[in-house]
Amino acid sequence: MDEHYRLKIEAELARIEEEDNIRILYACESGSRAWGFPSKDSDYDVRFLYVRPVECYLSIRERRDVIERPISGMLDINGWDLRKALALFSKSNPPLLEWLQSPIRYMEPYTTAERIRSFSTATFSPKSCMFHYLHMAKGNYREYLQGDTVRVKKYFYVLRPLLACSWIEKYNEMPPMLFEELVEDLIPGDSELYDIIQRLLLRKRAGEELSMEPRIQQLNDYLEGQILYFEQAAKGLDTAEGLTDEQLDKLFRDALLEAWGKVSV
């Protein structure tokens, strides 16, 4: 990635730590850059996990469990309090599971993220994750790809979640973030569909806007068929056993101790 932006992101994360009096446990890229199909003007979608000082969690006053910064200079930065993140982790939250396996990581100074990853198999719910990706695909398809002319770049935002559904069905595990890895594994390389996808990828990476153009009927037919298929397939998948509250509490307490040390309150 652009080294100028990496340094800019790292500096902004350090500033957030100072201004908000937090410790950032993990920070990564999400969105199109982490998926492997950014446009030249794509924002950097930076996501992070953090903890506040111990005494903040012992207060009668509830504090916000997210930190958000206005989008500025192509930087879209926000984070979740670890307590919020662990509650969502216990429910097999796909965005969080994606963050943890992002190929672009900005900060990981503590062991917390790796410890959470080690429990990912236990919390991964094929059913809830497939429904998440299916909902994303259906929403994007309905909004962007049903007219005679469509926003061509939005094909990626329907293809990727549907390929994620295919990965879950095939491997019963969280799909990888990189779009091309999904394509190479799940779309036959000698198929016309593969060629269509590769041509779109080449155009997007070359910096073409890929805005309004006539719909690609073969691609639409494939997407519609996959949506109908996974609407039924998702119903038969398993849920996850998950972690106990005691396991999650220990993760949380250990993260506080590692980030802040022993704090008298």
**pLDDT score of 263:** 54
User: Does residue 42 register a pLDDT over 90?
Assistant: no
Q: What does the H/E/C string look like for the chain?
A: CCHHHHHHHHHHHHHHHHHHCCEEEEEEEECHHHHCCCCCCCCEEEEEEEECCHHHHHCCCCCCCEEECCCECCEEEEEEEHHHHHHHHCCCCHHHHHHHCCCCEEECCCCHHHHHHHCHHHHCCHHHHHHHHHHHHHHHHHHHCCCCEEEHHHHHHHHHHHHHHHHHHHHCCCCCCCHHHHHHHHCCCCCHHHHHHHHHHHHHHCCCCCCEEECCHHHHHHHHHHHHHHHHHHHHCCCCCCCCHHHHHHHHHHHHHHHHCCCCC
Specify whether 181 is located in the same domain as 254: no
CATH number at residue 102: 3.30.460
Specify whether 115 is located in the same domain as 25: yes
CB 42 within 8 A of CB 9: no
CB atoms under 10 Å from CB of 115, counted, come to 14
pLDDT, mean over the chain? 94
Q: Is residue 37 part of a domain?
A: yes
**pLDDT score of 2:** 82
**pLDDT score of 239:** 87
Q: Are strands 75-81 and 105-107 parallel, antiparallel or unpaired?
A: unpaired
User: Does residue 264 register a pLDDT over 70?
Assistant: no
Specify whether 25 is located in the same domain as 96: yes
**pLDDT score of 207:** 77
Q: Is residue 155 part of a domain?
A: yes
Ranking 28-42, 66-80, 247-261 by mean pLDDT, the lowest is 28-42
* pLDDT tens-digit series, residues 48-67: 999 999 999 999 998 999 99
Give the pTM.
0.93
Q: Are strands 44-51 and 75-81 parallel, antiparallel or unpaired?
A: parallel
**pLDDT score of 165:** 98
Ranking 64-73, 107-116, 158-167 by mean pLDDT, the lowest is 64-73
Task: Give the side-chain half-sphere CA count within 13 A for 72.
Answer: 7
Specify whether 140 is located in the same domain as 92: no
Q: Is residue 106 part of a domain?
A: yes
**pLDDT score of 40:** 78
**pLDDT score of 237:** 92
Specify whether 160 is located in the same domain as 79: no
Q: Indicate the number of domains in the chain.
A: 2
Specify whether 138 is located in the same domain as 38: no
Specify whether 202 is located in the same domain as 247: no
Q: Is residue 247 part of a domain?
A: yes
Specify whether 111 is located in the same domain as 136: no
**pLDDT score of 265:** 47
User: Does residue 3 register a pLDDT over 50?
Assistant: yes
As a whole-number percent, the residues of the chain with pLDDT over 70 amount to: 98
* pLDDT tens-digit series, residues 229-238: 999 999 999 8
Specify whether 252 is located in the same domain as 209: no
Question: Quick one: pLDDT band at residue 216, thresholds 50, 70, 90?
Answer: very high
Specify whether 27 is located in the same domain as 44: yes
User: Does residue 262 register a pLDDT over 80?
Assistant: no
Q: Is residue 265 part of a domain?
A: no
Q: What is the pLDDT averaged over residues 123-140? A: 97
Q: Where in the sequence is the domain holding 23, given as residue range(s)?
A: 3-120+242-260
Specify whether 43 is located in the same domain as 99: yes
Q: Is residue 146 part of a domain?
A: yes
Q: What is the pLDDT averaged over residues 149-166? A: 96
Specify whether 7 is located in the same domain as 113: yes
What are 137's strand-pairing partners? none
User: Who wins on pLDDT, 81 or 121?
Assistant: 81
